């Protein structure tokens, strides 16, 4: 079983839709969860950072962690064409620099 | 220049060539990383340097040779590569203090094609 599973998509939605991106993981030691956004021909940039279970909101983005189910989500409200990118989930255990990434989900928001 | 920069952005090389990738970070960080990103695969950590010392070599073939002369610069020397080494090579940096908030910042990557 892979440590982190993420559906690579592609996912295509109309502008204004609510987007849900998800990852599952198997390592119960993971405590810190991140979402990176990667535009075409660019490096990943950190979008959201959450610790343990719960929700975190930042503008149109909400990150959700359910440690009991080993499941994390990123919700994008009122999606815009500028949100079109690959979204990578990443996670790490406590006091460890090493990130474990999902494969990334390619999202296209159509105007 | 701000953030993490990488040169060249694109590189095409034959299997017998020797080339080097360069990364520079302007964030005052102490840790630098090399990752490989291939299509349909997760990012693979290759090497980690913390305060110029290599702290991780993730079973990377010897045809990849990293060099970290100081905390701001990181190189990846390439020789006798294989076509399957074609990928996007990403450099990242972080504070390197191994705390929970030690966030990695990525450069734009070098797109490498091995013929």
Kindly tell me if the per-residue pLDDT of B100 is higher than 70.
Answer: no
pLDDT for B30 equals: 92
φ and ψ of A62, to 5 deg: -130, 125
Return the residue matching tokens 């975190």: A56
Cross-chain residue pair B56–A98, CB shorter than 8 Å: yes
Q: How many residues are recorded in chain A? A: 111
Q: Residue B101 phi/psi, 5° resolution?
A: -100, 15
Task: Say which DSSP state A42 is in.
Answer: S
Instruction: Give the gap in angstroms from C-alpha B102 to the nearest C-alpha of chain A.
Output: 7
Is residue B1 over pLDDT 60? no
The model's pLDDT over B81-99, given as tens digits with 9 standing for 90+, comes to 999 999 999 999 998 776 6
Which residues of chain A are under the pLDDT cut of 50? none
Q: Do the bridges between strand A11-14 and strand B4-7 make them parallel or antiparallel, or are there none, so unpaired?
A: unpaired
Q: Answer whether B56 touches A (CB < 8 Å).
A: yes
pLDDT (average), residues B73-86: 95
Read off φ and ψ for residue A97, nearest 5 degrees: -75, -15
CB contact under 8 A, B109 and A100: no
Q: Is the pLDDT of residue B78 over 80?
A: yes
Does residue B62 sit at the A interface (CB-CB below 8 Å)? no
In chain A, the residue whose alpha carbon lies closest to the alpha carbon of B109 is A43
B8 and B95 Cβ atoms separated by less than 8 Å: no
Among residues of chain B, what percentage have pLDDT more than 90? 75
Give yes or no for a contact between B110 and B9, defined as CB atoms under 8 angstroms apart: yes
How does pLDDT run across B37-65, given as a tens digit for each residue? Answer: 998 889 999 999 988 888 888 889 999 99
pLDDT of B5 reads 96
Instruction: Find, among A44, A80, A103, the residue nearest to B4 by Cα.
Output: A44
- Give the CA dihedral B73, B78, B82, B84, nearest 10 degrees: 0
Measured CB to CB, residues of chain A less than 8 Å from chain B are 4, 8, 31-32, 34, 36, 41-46, 49, 51, 88, 90, 94-104
Is the pLDDT reported for residue B2 higher than 80? no
- State how far the Cα of A5 lies from the Cα of A23, in Å rounded to an integer: 6
Given this model, what pLDDT does residue B103 score?
Answer: 86
Q: Shortest CB distance from B98 goes to which of A41, A95, A102? A: A95
pLDDT at position B16 is 86
Residues in chain A within 8 Å Cβ distance of B103: 34, 46, 49
Q: What pLDDT, on a 0 to 100 scale, did the predictor assign at position A97?
A: 75
pLDDT band at residue B112 using 50, 70 and 90 as cut-offs: very high
């Amino acid at each position: 079983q892979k440590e982190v599973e993420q559906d690579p998509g592609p996912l295509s939605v109309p502008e204004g839709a609510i987007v849900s991106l998800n990852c599952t993981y198997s390592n119960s030691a993971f405590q810190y969860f991140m979402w990176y956004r990667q535009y075409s021909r660019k490096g990943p940039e950190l979008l959201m950072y959450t610790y343990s279970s719960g929700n975190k909101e930042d503008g149109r983005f909400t990150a959700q962690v359910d440690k009991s189910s080993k499941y994390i989500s990123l919700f994008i409200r009122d999606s815009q064409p500028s949100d079109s990118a690959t979204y990578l989930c990443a996670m790490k255990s406590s006091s460890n620099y090493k990130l474990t990434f999902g494969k990334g989900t390619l999202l296209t928001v159509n105007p | 220049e701000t953030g993490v920069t990488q040169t060249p952005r694109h590189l095409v090389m034959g299997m017998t060539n020797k080339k080097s990738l360069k990364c520079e970070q302007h964030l005052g960080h102490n840790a630098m990383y090399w990752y490989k990103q291939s299509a349909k695969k997760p990012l693979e950590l290759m090497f980690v340097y913390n305060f110029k010392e290599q702290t991780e070599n993730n079973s990377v073939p010897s045809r990849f040779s990293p060099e970290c002369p100081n905390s701001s610069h990181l190189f990846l020397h390439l020789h006798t590569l294989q076509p399957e080494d074609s990928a996007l090579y990403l450099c990242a940096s972080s504070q390197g203090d191994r705390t929970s908030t030690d966030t990695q910042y990525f450069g734009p990557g070098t797109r490498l094609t091995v013929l």
